[in-house]
A and B are shown apart, each in its own frame.
Chain A
Amino acid sequence: MSGLHNLLAHEVVEGIKEGLFTAEEYVSTVIKTIEDVESKLNSFITLDTERALSSAKLIDRKIKENEDIGYLGGVAVGIKDNISTKDIRTTCASKMLEDYVPSYDATVIRNLKQNGAIILGKLNLDEFGMGSTTEYSRYHPTHNPWNLDYVPGGSSGGCGAAVAAGECTVSLGSDTGGSIRCPASFCSVVGLKPTYGRVSRYGLISYANSLEQIGPICRSVKDIVLIMNIISGKDNSDNTSMSSSQITINNKLDKFDIAIVKELINGGDHGVTGTIYSTSDKFKEIGCTCDEISIKNLHYALPSYYTLASAEASSNLARYDNIRYGFHLPIEEYKWDTYFSNVRKNFGEEVKRRILIGSYVLSSGYYSKYYLKARSLRSLLKLELLKLFKKYDLLIGPTMPILPFKFGEKIDDPIKMYLVDINTVIANLAGIPAISLPVGFSNGLPIGLQMMAAPFEEQKLIDVSYALEKTINIQRRPSLT
């Protein structure tokens, strides 16, 4: 059966349940797609197709025996390679974890498996999630399925590309400063960064703990809801997780007050700006109001983000010393006094840069000058946003102020690269939910609309996204043949 890889997750589950096709047929089609396009895209770091096929057979057996297959029964899922999967190598796209096979499943993986999902493999990213293009992956960059010369966004670039190209039906990414939304935007798929604490981080390999969340990258809003309801909730293994109510798909939309944030849209690429403005007209069509407002403290966001994220990263990544796990290393060359510095040379350049920055801003004498100041600015920004959310249901703008760009275009200039995240880091600093929804193309390259809501107001994001998705009928599948 061809075309099964194009189905949405809820269609897959229904199809298997109704006996339209078997899980094995569907998973085989997805694997065939991977075989066809993976050499062009390089979405995966590790594939686990054999186990995926036997899991599919298990689902089919359950169907035969009239057993429950779960909300995600048979759905082929790709996992960003910084989320721990028991018995599947988890590298973070780093040399430092080249041979690391986790002994446990992240909470989200346990949830997926309990609901019948099939883990296909581990998806590419920038090393430890640090980057916006996947160019910092130890295992070569992933290519944008809409134009192979262009970056897919990052750091969850493998997720964005694989979902867009049908190499998996849904995927889980992580978002520390935009890492779900950026590739969602660049690959024309939907990506949600949940409220901080809505999804357990247990098993997510930390880059910056206070900022990051695991979230879904899918081809439709409905699938986002399906995944969110499975991975959300209070987890006793994560002190920062909280319980939340289920999200639903509503066909009727409340009248929402929406505001375009000037700072997010001004100065962006013209194609992007134009598309966002014309999308904002659609809000009126679906019965919402749309103002334009300004966020005063926005210019502090990026420096604050990079200070805090690097500080946390410098400490989180300290554990990679290759003593307990890591990669093959002939031990003879190393001496007690030089062991740590020698082994840690194996990080990539961008990771080293952030460890250095982070160590610097935390060192005595600079702590209050940088780290503490960044924290204050973060609170300031959060307060301002929460105040705005008393007036507006959603704050919107382009997810990325620019279109996808070519490989190598920004890699030589870290500051240019950091500026790419300017619109996305806000939600991480404030701990609020944000979604990126595909809303159009410019020069054949995708454009994403970013919407942010108050903490735990994911339902509002979903309501508006679902209404817009129906209104704006955009092309969802890149042609890769």
Chain B
Amino acid sequence: MSLVMIGLEIHAQITVLETKLFCSCRGNYRDLRPNTNICETCCGLPGTLPIINKKAIEYSTMTSIALGCKVPDKIMFYRKNYFYPDLPKNFQITQYNVYGFSSIGVEGSFELDDSKKIRISRIQLEEDPGRINYLEGDMNVRNSALIDYNRAGVALIEIVTEPDFTNPKEVRLFLNKLSLTLEHLGVCNTLMEGSVRCDVNVSMKGGNKVEIKNINSFKEVEKAINYEITRQTSMYNRNIKIESETRHWDDKKKITYKSRSKEEEHDYRYFPEPDIPIIVLGHNFVSNLKVHMPELPSQRFDRFVSKYKLSEHISDILINDKKLADFFESTLKIYFSPVEIANFLITEFKSMIEYDSDSTDYLRNMKVKPEHIAELVKMIEGNKISRITAKDILVKIFESGLLPSEIVNNTNSFKIADEKILMDAVESVFDTEKSAVEDAKTNHETINFLLGKVMKFTNGRADPKITMRLINNKLKKPNA
């Protein structure tokens, strides 16, 4: 079945903020005992008033600029009224686009690839609710639920797209690019638990829109959409009408299920928040931010290609992992050899860290620092060690944190360029590999086999260039 329309509503916490959106409680509520990161204001005690975090306005504006949105001269906040136990005031302070006022960003567009753009309908700044910990069992049967308000009041950016996606792959691509952008802006560390959430709406063949809520990581989004497309397709094939409804994603069972009907009947009774006067941003605000805001991934890509002369492929790999790209540039500051360093990082280096990349600070906690890589690459280029040795040394750096020169000295692993020593090695290989030597006289590929044997014989320290010459010379001799 064709003609799938998918739209996204993404909530990203501004994790970089020290404090919550309207009070001075900590922005990072993680790993704290329940209800210890709270104050009168974020608990909504009677008489408290919200005081807006100005940094949150800056970060949400940067996000709007990065997603091609218009940013208005004035913004205001609205109340969205609904009852839920995790919402301390029983209304959420958010933004709303109506009656001449708009949220922090509107009418944007974000490039997916050369041929497709996704329209952004709006970006708004709002507060996160607390969290309810349901004890085991069904909501209607359970006797109690525990509420933790540590998260209540954390700054959230809501990004709403038009239903421009036609398949789950586009969604994945978009979310990857969006994460990268948020990370480059420093707005959101998307790897932190619960820092990004996504609601998805899916409709097929112009049918009713089904909203899927509660998808708590970008990884799950594609699965939820696939499930929903399969579900709707099978309903369509059996002539069952698809109702407009809200469904939830169960990330344990990997299915969507229908929510209680009440959630669909909400009238949120939006009206302007009287406790936060209209905020005038002014013309200069946006232009100043544009000058001072961090480089976006696309700008960085262009710079890597033009300034460092990296291939587009390599630039792409680096930029898709911001921490690796940062590591790359820190290394360049110590030893400027962009192509060699980039190559080393995306091959040997990356292969060693990849399995561990779920942890948010994987580069910071490592013993390997840019200093190590700079020195290592310098040694390779100076012909002091072979690439194979470099790989071994890297393993040792990962373990010990010692500098490459120290490791080389300790293990005596400088490259062997002494022709006499190398000749001895070649000769002993020729002695043991007689049939290969015969073969090598006619078959060029076997020469590489012999080279490998010499490398092994010397623990990878043989200079391959010299060794190759010695092998070739010896093969040409009639008595070989």
Contacts and interface: CB of A to CB of B under 8 A. Distances in A.
Contact of A323 (B40, B147, B274, B275): B147
Nearest to A238: B49
Contact of B48 (A202, A239, A240, A311): A202
A90 B46 contact: yes
Nearest to A240: B277
B50 A239 contact: yes
Contacts of A325: 45
B241 interface: no
Interface string B335-372: 00000000000000000000000000000000000000
Given A314-B269, A321-B83, A337-B140, A206 B47 contact: yes
Nearest to B81: A315
Interface residues of B, number: 32
B40 A92 contact: no
Given A106-B47, A206-B47, A237-B51, A319 B277 contact: no
Interface in A82-103: 83-84, 90, 92, 97, 100, 102-103
B267 interface: yes
Interface stretch (A153-161, A356-364, A387-395): A356-364
Q: Name which of B83, B88, B274, B277 has the most chain A CB atoms within 10 A of its CB.
A: B274
Contacts of B308: none
A315 B89 CA distance: 9
Interface string A269-312: 00000000000000000000000000000000000000000011
B47 A204 contact: yes
A319 B87 CA distance: 9
Interface in B30-62: 40, 43-52
A359 B147 contact: no
B contact patch SS: loop
Interface in A182-232: 201-206, 208-210
A173 to B, nearest CB: 15
B121 interface: no
Contacts of A362: 81, 269-271
A340 interface: yes
Interface in B72-109: 79, 81, 83, 85, 88-91, 99
Contacts of B140: 335-337
A90 B45 CA distance: 12
Nearest to B99: A372
Contacts of B267: 363-364
Nearest to B145: A336
A319 B271 contact: no
Contacts of A92: 46
Contacts of B139: 336
Contact of A239 (B40, B81, B91, B276): B276
Give chain A's interface residue range (CB within 8 Å of chain B): 35 or more
Given A239-B276, A336-B139, A363-B269, A201 B49 contact: yes
Contact of A371 (B50, B271, B275): B271
A340 B83 contact: yes
Contacts of A104: 40, 45
Interface string A391-408: 000000000000000000
Nearest to A90: B46
Contacts of A335: 140
Contact of B47 (A203, A236, A240): A203
Interface in B242-258: none
A440 to B, nearest CB: 37
A391 B47 CA distance: 38
Nearest to B50: A239
Contact of B269 (A206, A240, A315): A315
B83 A240 contact: no
Contacts of A315: 79, 81, 91, 269, 271
Contact of A318 (B83, B147, B276): B83
B315 to A, nearest CB: 46
B47 to A, nearest CB: 4
Q: Name which of B51, B52, B147 has the most chain A CB atoms within 10 A of its CB.
A: B51
B67 to A, nearest CB: 28
Given A237-B51, A319-B89, A359-B269, A209 B275 contact: yes
B277 A239 contact: yes
A418 interface: no
Contacts of B43: 324
B47 A202 contact: yes
A256 interface: no
A327 interface: no
Interface of B: 40, 43-52, 79, 81, 83, 85, 88-91, 99, 139-140, 147, 262, 267, 269-271, 274-277
Given A324-B88, A364-B269, 5 more contacts: A83-B47, A201-B49, A335-B140, A337-B262, A367-B269
Which are the 7 A-B pairs with shortest beta-carbon distances?
A: A318-B90, A362-B269, A209-B274, A210-B274, A205-B46, A203-B47, A84-B47
30 contacts: A100-B46, A102-B45, A102-B47, A103-B45, A104-B45, A106-B47, A203-B48, A206-B275, A209-B274, A238-B49, A238-B275, A239-B276, A239-B277, A240-B277, A312-B274, A315-B81, A318-B81, A318-B89, A319-B90, A319-B91, A321-B83, A321-B85, A323-B147, A324-B88, A337-B140, A359-B269, A362-B81, A362-B270, A363-B267, A364-B269
